[in-house]
Structure 1
Amino acid sequence: MVRSFLQFLRTTAGFLPAILLGFAYIPVAQGQEKPYFVTYSHDLEEPGNLEIETKTALAQPNQSHRYGATASELEYGTRAWWTTELYLDGQATAQDSTIFTGFRIENRFRPLMREHLINPVLYVEYENISGADKTILEVVGHDGQPDLAERNGEARREHQHEGELKLILSSNLKAWNISENFISEKNLGHEPWEFGYALGAARPLRTLGSGKPCVFCLEKFMAGAEAYGGLGDTDSLTLHDTSHYIAPIVGWQLPVGRLSFSTGFGLTSTSLDRVYRIGWASELPQVGNWFHSRKGGAQ
């Protein structure tokens, strides 16, 4: 497994250094959200803050080549109840090519601001991506290995203009966060609605801080798991011929951001055998104030 992971990293070596170099210039900040890769909790970005994040998926479909796909994300706290995001996606496939695969615009709205037993969030997204996108930010319908095995030159000819809706339900139970996502997605042409789900649970390894600055303290780590998969479409609402994954996750809060790891295990014949994920997030506080000129000196 370790050898395979190192091989995947070599596949994506062409674009990862540029991403990491960019993070070297980000000020010290703290990521806010849970270390999920597919599941969303009810956490929203603080108003005026900008979070910069990458989510990289590394995998190899059967009868195809290894690939690395990265979604680079800009998440802005528009209001306390509204967070908006821009995703830019790309991928590199061994013995094929490195290509940009499209963009996504996402908005999350939290109708109830106080903490409740169950906290609902409404999610709306527009996707303009090609068939070569391999980020696996969600699994819907009958998504499976054949969708990820096409040659880039052929897959990129398929243009997908899609709308996506999610109902996010999230609860904080003592140290645990438990989140459930119900997903519906539709090609804006005449395709049927496709459905999927994502479930996540995570908690810090220790809830009480030591009171001393540290990097390797247990309270800096969060562990858990997420499960996600497709539920067919309006023509065939079923578990038959759908992909499903279970993925342990680990998050590590560093002085300059949050590092996350996950290994997803495919549960059906249409699923990938493994999906290795690595994520990085760092936050820029109150970037909205950068564009407001000060009047009358310091406030």
Structure 2
Amino acid sequence: MVRSFLKPGRPTAPSIFLTILLGIMATPTLRAQEKPYFVTYSQDLEEPGNLEIETKTALGQPADSHRYGATATELEYGVFAWWTTELYLDTQTTGQESTLFTGFRLENRVRPLMREHLINPVLYVEYENTSGADKTLLEVVGHDGQSDLASPNDEASQEHQHEAELKLILSSNLKAWNISENFISEKNLGHEPWEFGYAVGAARPFRTLGSGKPCTFCLEKFMFGGEAYGGLGDTWSLTLHDTSQYVAPIVGWQLPFGRLSFSTGFGLTSSSLDRVYRFGWASELPQVGSWFRGSKGGAQ
């Protein structure tokens, strides 16, 4: 059960992860490679043996409820060139309430066609073990709405969600642009119906040709674009009625030691939050797998 990992109100997990992230930020050799999307996935997988550590934080306020901040800390490892596996650890803090560890997710992405094509498919499978207090908004499916985010923490944390999620990721690189479409299906492993959703993103660098000199503020270090995402109902009611829909401009900034990303999501329906403010940080540790392999005869 989720509560066995951390009792409500104890900020131990966020403190540990903050310490890890501060250590990563102090390491100048780290790089992040993925597009600066918050909800949409592209065809990019992690390099084999590399570990990317990323945080995605969402800030919002449901109607008639308190402001909250929710963070998903991701540990993404490249198993093979065609297979990336990932662990998410979710936390949230709600004003005038408490700080909670809200669960974990285990994700796997497989790219069946390694050569570049006009459309590059990726298959995504995830297991989620979260509480009803999870507010990370990593996806929106079914009839998810702001009312789901408004329940008090002490009540929502009693609800335990064991869910399977499948995604079909289609991604294309057209000149400087990346355009990605995600089709999402999610099912509670009890007796609930399948829920459906989508995410669509497009992004490109401000400038495609590099200056050839080390720099931090060069235009090629910045990416811009946007994403749209929302629910599509469920097997009982496949519809846009009573669903949440968002559009969000995004900006990414590639630094020598990682990538910063920013986004402001605008809710388009009455079920949506008015605004979702997001920021993210990602850094990469190269060839982590080699740390655990003994070397014989010195360097290879």
Query: Counterpart of 1:153 in 2: which secondary structure?
Result: helix
Q: Structure 2: which amino acid aligns with 1:43?
A: D
Q: Is the 8 A contact 2:25 2:258 kept in 1?
A: no
Q: Structure 2: which amino acid aligns with 1:192?
A: P
Task: Count residues in correspondence.
Answer: 287
Alignment RMSD (CA, Å): 1.4
Q: Structure 2: which amino acid aligns with 1:84?
A: T
- Within a 5 Å distance, the mapping from 1:139-154 to structure 2 comes to 139-154=140-155
The CA distance in 2 between the partners of 1:17 and 1:86, in whole Å, is: 16
How far residue 111 of structure 1 moved from its aligned partner, in angstroms, is: 0.2
Aligned to 2:280: 279
How far residue 24 of structure 1 moved from its aligned partner, in angstroms, is: 3.1
Aligned to 1:6: none
The CA distance in 2 between the partners of 1:45 and 1:196, in whole Å, is: 25
Give structure 2 stretches of 5+ with no counterpart: 1-13
How far residue 29 of structure 1 moved from its aligned partner, in angstroms, is: 1.7
Query: Counterpart of 1:63 in 2: which secondary structure?
Result: coil
The CA distance in 1 between the partners of 2:199 and 2:16, in whole Å, is: 29
Q: Is the 8 A contact 1:27 1:284 kept in 2?
A: no
- Within a 5 Å distance, the mapping from 1:36-75 to structure 2 comes to 36-75=37-76
Q: Is the 8 A contact 1:162 1:186 kept in 2?
A: yes
Query: Counterpart of 2:62 in 1: which secondary structure?
Result: coil
Q: Is the 8 A contact 1:26 1:284 kept in 2?
A: no
Aligned to 1:264: 265
- Within a 5 Å distance, the mapping from 1:186-225 to structure 2 comes to 186-225=187-226
- Within a 5 Å distance, the mapping from 1:54-203 to structure 2 comes to 54-203=55-204
Q: Is the 8 A contact 2:28 2:256 kept in 1?
A: no
How far residue 17 of structure 1 moved from its aligned partner, in angstroms, is: 5.4
Q: Structure 2: which amino acid aligns with 1:252?
A: W
Query: Counterpart of 2:147 in 1: which secondary structure?
Result: helix
How far residue 196 of structure 1 moved from its aligned partner, in angstroms, is: 0.1
Query: Counterpart of 1:211 in 2: which secondary structure?
Result: coil
The CA distance in 2 between the partners of 1:161 and 1:204, in whole Å, is: 38
Deviations 1:13-55 (A, max 9, x none): 9899546524334452211100000000000000000000000
How far residue 127 of structure 1 moved from its aligned partner, in angstroms, is: 0.1
Q: Structure 2: which amino acid aligns with 1:49?
A: N
TM-score, reference length from structure 1: 0.94
The CA distance in 2 between the partners of 1:165 and 1:297, in whole Å, is: 44
Aligned to 2:234: 233
Q: Is the 8 A contact 1:104 1:128 kept in 2?
A: yes
The CA distance in 2 between the partners of 1:205 and 1:272, in whole Å, is: 30
Deviations 1:191-222 (A, max 9, x none): 00000000000000000000111000000000
Aligned to 1:5: none
Query: Counterpart of 1:289 in 2: which secondary structure?
Result: helix
Query: Counterpart of 1:219 in 2: which secondary structure?
Result: helix
Q: Is the 8 A contact 1:26 1:282 kept in 2?
A: no
The CA distance in 1 between the partners of 2:28 and 2:161, in whole Å, is: 36
The CA distance in 1 between the partners of 2:146 and 2:37, in whole Å, is: 22
Query: Counterpart of 1:258 in 2: which secondary structure?
Result: strand
Confirm whether residue 297 of structure 1 aligns to residue 284 of structure 2: no
Give structure 1 stretches of 5+ with no counterpart: 1-12
The CA distance in 1 between the partners of 2:289 and 2:137, in whole Å, is: 31
Q: Is the 8 A contact 1:128 1:160 kept in 2?
A: yes
The CA distance in 2 between the partners of 1:139 and 1:67, in whole Å, is: 17
TM-score, reference length from structure 2: 0.93
Query: Counterpart of 2:260 in 1: which secondary structure?
Result: strand
Q: Is the 8 A contact 1:126 1:161 kept in 2?
A: yes
The CA distance in 1 between the partners of 2:297 and 2:20, in whole Å, is: 39
The CA distance in 2 between the partners of 1:22 and 1:227, in whole Å, is: 33
The CA distance in 2 between the partners of 1:22 and 1:131, in whole Å, is: 31
